[in-house]
Structure 1
Amino acid sequence: MKNTIVGVDLAKKVIQVCKTTNRTVRSNEEMTPDEFILFLANSKPMTVVFEACETSSYWKQQALLYGHDAKLISAKLVASVRQSQKTDKNDALAIVQTALLPDVNFISGKSIEQQQLQSTMRLRELCSKQKQRSATNLLHY
C-alpha cells in the first residue's frame, strides 16, 4: 500500500515493528530477525523507516531487496518526538511519527562497499593495536 509506513526499532534479539496505514496504527508487534525477513518478503511495497544504529544499514539493504522504500532517521530526532517512556513499542511508534513530520532529513546509510571498507579498516586498526601490544610485552621480558 502506498500510504503504509512501518517504523522499525532494532535490537539484538528482537525487532519492534509498528505498521501504520493512513496515519492509523494497524499493529505494533515484536518479531525475531527471521520473522522480520518474512514480513518484508510477504508485504506489498511500503515505506520502512529505521532508527539509525549499528545494524540499520544492513536492514535498510534487506528492505530494498524486497522492493520497499527504506529510510534511516536520526536517533536524536526520534528521541525528541517520543512522548512517553523509552520502550521498544514507544520507539517504533515514535519512528513512524518522526517520519511523518514535514521537512524531515533522512540519513543516507552505508552501501555494501562502504561497509566492506569500514570492516577492513577496523580489522587493520585491530591488527595494528595487537602488534603494538605484542611489541610492548616483548620489551618487558
Structure 2
Amino acid sequence: MKIKTVGIDLAKNVFQVHGVDERGKTVLRKQIKRDQMASFFINLPTCLIGMEACGSAHYWARKLQAMGHTVHLMAPQFVKPYVKSNKNDAADAEAICEAVGRPSMRFVPIKNIEQQSVLSLHRVRQGFVKARTAQANQIRGLLGEFGLVVPQGIAYVTQRVPELIEDALIELPGSFRILITRLLEHLQLLHRQIDEIEAQIKAWHRSNEASQRLTQVPGVGPITATALVATIGDAKNFDNGRQLAAWLGLVPRQHSSGGKRNLLGMSKRGDAYLRTLLIHGARSVIYRAMQKADPSNWVFNVASRRNKNIAAVALANKTARTIWALLIHDRQFRLDYRAANAAA
C-alpha cells in the first residue's frame, strides 16, 4: 500500500514516524534513530510530510524537500487538538499526520540557511542584552547595600560607578572595590560583544535590498528590518497585511459568543521578539510626533485621544501592514503615498 501522508515527531536522537495511505488507514508506525532518517526517507516514495515547528524542524524540512517530498511545518498549538487520549511519541506522530492533511491548517514557512543564520545573530544579541541589563542591576544592587545609590540606566552605571570605586573618601573594603571593578569589566565585555554582533547584522542589512527598503518606514531600523526579513521570508505566505499583523500578535484577542463581539487586549501570539521591536519603534515615532504636535498627523491624533501604550500597538499594527505591502509589491516607502492617491 502506497504511503500518502507521514507525520514525524522530532526529537534529539529517536524520531517517531506515522504514515497513512490515501484512504487514511495506518500503514506505517515506526521509531527511527537520527542516523537512519536520511536513508529511510530517501528510499520512501514521495509523499506529504508534516512536522511541528520545533528544534531542528527547518533543517529536516530542507533535507526532506531535497529528496523530493512535500514538507509542511505546523505550530505545536495547532497540532495539540488532534492528540488522542494520553500523550506519547506515537500519539504525537499520529496527530501530526492527521493535522497536516487538514485543508484549513496553517503552516509555518520553512527558513533557509541564510535566514536561520541572521536570526541566530538576533537571538544571541538578545541574550547578551539581557545579560548586560542583569549585570548592571547587580552592580547597582551591591552598591545599594553600602548606601551608594546609582540612578537607573546602564549609562549611569558605566559613568558613575568607576568614580565611586576610586573615591578614597567612601568607606568600602578593598575586596569589594576589586569585585565591582571585575563586574564593570564584565559589563564592558558584554558591551563589546553586543556591538560586534550588531555590526554583523548591519553588514547583512547593507547587502539585502528588501531590508534596506524597510528602514524607510518610520520606527523601523536595521535591527528590526533584518529580523522581519529573515523571519517572514516570502511575504506571499500571507494573503494581506492584516494576516501579518495577526501573526505577530498585534490584533485584539477575541472572546465572542452569541453574535456579541468582545475584544480584549492584544493577542500576543507569534514572535514576541518581532512584536517588541515594532512596538518600541512605534514608541519612538509617537515621541517625535508629540513633540511636533501636528494636528494633521495620524499618529499625533491617536496618541492624543488614547493611552500611549494603545497608540504604540496601533502604530505597530499599521507598520506591520505597511511592511507587508512593501515586500509583496516590491515598492519603496513614500510618506505622501495617501496624498498622492487622493490627488490622482
State whether TM-score is above 0.5.
yes
What does residue 36 of structure 1 align with? 37
Cross-structure match for 2:180? 139
2:85 and 2:3 mapped to 1: Cα distance? 25
Q: Which moved more, 1:118-127 or 1:44-53?
A: 118-127
Distance in 1 separating the partners of 2:132 and 2:74: 38
Structure 1 pair 67–127 and aligned structure 2 pair: CA distance change class (3 A): same
Query: What corresponds to 1:75 in structure 2?
Result: 76
The question of whether the paired residues in 2 share the 8 Å contact of 1:18 and 1:89 is answered with yes
Cα separation, 2, equivalents of 1:76 and 1:94: 12
Rg larger in structure: 2
Equivalent in the alignment of 2:209: none
CA distance in 2, matches of 1:107, 1:128: 28
Partner of 1:20: 20
Structure 1 moving runs of 4+ over 4 Å: 125-133
1:5-24 CA-to-partner distances (Å, cap 9, x unmatched) read 11000011111010111111
Q: Distance in 2 between matches of 1:36 and 1:85?
A: 26
In 2: Cα distance, 1:81 partner to 1:129 partner: 37
| Offset of residue 59 of structure 1 | 0.8
User: Percent same amino acid among aligned pairs?
Assistant: 30
Looking at secondary structure, tell me which structure has more strand per residue.
1
Please show how residues 77-96 of structure 1 align to structure 2 within 5 Å: 77-96=78-97
Matched letter for residue 14 of structure 1: V
- Residue 108 of structure 1 corresponds to which residue in structure 2? 109
Q: How does 1:3-14 map to 2 (within 5 A)?
A: 4-14=4-14
Query: SS in structure 1 opposite 2:27?
Result: strand
Structure 2 segments unaligned to the other structure (5+ residues) = 140-177, 183-344
Give the Cα separation in 1 of the matches to 2:49 and 2:128.
37
Deviation, 1:107, is 1.3
Aligned partners of 1:114, 1:98: CA distance in 2, in Å? 26
For the residues of structure 1 that align with 2:88 and 2:34, how far apart are their CA atoms? 18
Does the CA contact (< 8 Å) of 1:8 and 1:50 recur in 2?
A: yes
Once the 2 structures are TM-superposed, how far is the Cα of residue 101 of structure 1 from its aligned partner? 2.1
Count of residue pairs the alignment pairs up: 141
Q: Measure the CA separation in 2 of the matches of 1:127 and 1:97.
A: 40
Structure 2 distance, partners of 1:25, 1:68, is: 19
Q: Give the deviation of 1:28 after TM superposition.
A: 1.1
CA–CA distance in 2 between the matches of 1:51 and 1:83? 17
Aligned-pair distance for 1:97?
Answer: 1.0
SS at structure 1 position matched to 2:79: helix
Does the CA contact (< 8 Å) of 1:2 and 1:45 recur in 2?
no
Q: Which residue of 2 aligns with 1:60?
A: 61
Residues in 2 aligned to 1:14 and 1:58: alpha-carbon distance in whole angstroms: 16
Conserved in 2, the CA contact under 8 Å of 1:20 and 1:27? yes
**Alpha-carbon contact 2:3-2:19 (below 8 Å) kept:** no
Q: What SS does structure 1 have at the residue aligned with 2:6?
A: strand
- Whether the aligned pair in 1 keeps the contact of 2:12 and 2:34 (CA below 8 Å) is no
Deviation, structure 1 residue 123: 3.5
Which runs of 5 or more structure 1 residues have no equivalent in the other structure?
none
**CA RMSD between the two structures:** 2.6
Aligned to 2:189: none
Q: Is residue 2–residue 46 contact of structure 1 (8 Å, CA) maintained in 2?
A: no
Question: Which of structures 1 and 2 has the larger relative contact order (alpha carbons within 8 angstroms, sep 6+)?
Answer: 1
